Homo-oligomer: A and B are copies of this chain.
Amino acid sequence: MSLTIKLHISNHPNFLAQPKIHQNPTKILPKYIYQTNPLRPIVLNHTKMSSISSQSKRVIKSSLIDPDGGSLIDLVVPENERNLRVSEAESLPKIRLTKIDLEWVHVLSEGWASPLKGFMRENEYLQSLHFNSLRLADGSFVNMSLPIVLAIDDKAKDDIGSSPNVALVAPNGDLVAILRSIEIYKHNKEERIARTWGTTAPGLPYVEEVITPAGNWLIGGELEVLKEIKYNDGLDQYRISPKELRKEFDRREADAVFAFQLRNPVHNGHALLMNDTRQRLLDMGYKNPILLLHPLGGFTKADDVPLDVRMEQHSKVLEDGVLDPETTVVAIFPSPMHYAGPTEVQWHAKARINAGANFYIVGRDPAGMGHPTEKRDLYDPDHGKKVLSMAPGLEKLNILPFRVAAYDTMAKKMSFFDPSRAKDFLFISGTKMRSFARTGENPPDGFMCPGGWKVLVNYYASLQEGESKQPATVSA
């Protein structure tokens, strides 16, 4: 493995000098870097760093990792063109967006899906469905595992007629964007579902919420977003764009950024893992690894903990000192959730490349759930990390596999699972945790910081107070 890394670095056109941290690569390489697939060596991306240090420059650039396609896409219309575009939008045929369509407009507008410049055209849709990747003009691939598409029904299609451009309208009636040079093509829902989820069983949350009620056409084109998407829910300050995140990593002089995707409260097992990852990056020679704690903020299924509660819980985790605010950035990832396992985890990783993360932590069964109609996991729990390690377009991202943490009944805290004394460990699933919080029962000491736990208990108590506080199906 050390040989592979040297080879890749020395082959890189930006290579100028062997970085210090590689002086003894056989010693500093972490054993926990995942590499079961011999076809895909994990490459540490220090080329930019090394060229900078060798040139004795003082400024650490945000470009620890290039955005997909080379530059970050920003689809928001410049301030000085806004009025003109709004007038134009008013004159165009209009498409009414759902709340989740609007989340995708948000995702696209800030370049999380770079190099996509709008909702997918058919050639992008087909590449995404069949190859989970897009080929660029230079022959290289970027990852693109989820179709990012906009569905319309027959009536909307008729209303558009032969107009080359359309306006997109938010659920509240606000004009949101122009979609240009549109292309309308068939929405074969069955095929989309089968190829994305690997099942067509009824009960998939995103399918039931989004796809089944959607129209039989997809409309692609270039997107021009009239102004930044805001939710006015008290959480907008956490909705930090990839561009702003890259600036923040610069400001902190990060020399490594490791992203942690989550849609659950943070317990001490997660914290152990994140702190351990940071230590290992320090051991590898990085001076200032920054954690991007990155809860998903778009659509989630009804029994997930809502975003506002999770954000409050995450705040407590930092307040209680379980994670270090100095080396942690908490921000919201605005994407809706598909629960599409190995297919979706690629999207989660790819979007974090665009936000400047060059390390990605992957756990057991990422983006997985129980099979909706059978008594088993929908996906093999190991497939997520395996597929991630093989995925076209993710070669430049370092994949860090989750070490399994569980409650250690001897040490009375969360520890990495030790198979030699398996009976000492208690696995507390998300379902189990929610059930504790719902019934008011305390989890074992050391499972979660008290401040964070209180947030959850209060949330479930508020649910029981009355129907009016039921969690919304769409959490953001």
Contact = CB atoms under 8 A, between A and B. Distances in A.
Interface of A: 36-40, 122-123, 126-127, 129-137, 139, 141, 145, 186, 188, 190-191, 194-195, 197-201, 342-343, 379-380, 383, 386-387, 390-392, 395
Contacts of A134: 39
Contact of A141 (B129, B137, B200, B392): B392
Given A126-B383, A127-B390, A39 B137 contact: yes
Contacts of A40: 135
Nearest to A145: B130
A373 to B, nearest CB: 10
B198 A386 contact: no
Given A188-B380, A194-B194, A132 B130 contact: yes
A391 B37 contact: no
Contact of A190 (B36, B139, B199, B391): B199
Nearest to A393: B131
Contact of A198 (B137, B139, B194): B194
B343 A130 contact: yes
A36 B198 CA distance: 28
Contacts of A135: 39-40, 390, 392
Nearest to A379: B191
Nearest to A382: B122
A379 B139 CA distance: 27
Contacts of A38: 123, 137
Given A40-B135, A135-B39, A130 B199 contact: no
A136 to B, nearest CB: 7
Nearest to A143: B131
Given A343-B130, A392-B133, A194 B200 contact: yes
A145 B132 CA distance: 13
Contacts of A387: 126, 130
A22 B196 CA distance: 43
A136 B188 CA distance: 33
Contacts of A136: 39
A131 B197 contact: no
Contacts of A191: 198-199, 379
A383 B198 CA distance: 20
Given A38-B137, A191-B379, A195-B195, 8 more contacts: A38-B123, A39-B123, A39-B135, A127-B390, A130-B342, A191-B199, A194-B194, A194-B200
A383 B342 CA distance: 24
A131 B392 contact: yes
A353 B383 CA distance: 31
Nearest to A378: B191
Given A36-B123, A123-B36, A380-B186, A131 B195 contact: no
A39 B136 CA distance: 6
Contacts of A194: 194-195, 197-200
A379 B130 CA distance: 13
A249 to B, nearest CB: 28
Contacts of A133: 131, 392
A145 B131 CA distance: 9
8 contacts: A38-B123, A39-B134, A126-B342, A130-B145, A131-B131, A131-B391, A194-B198, A195-B198
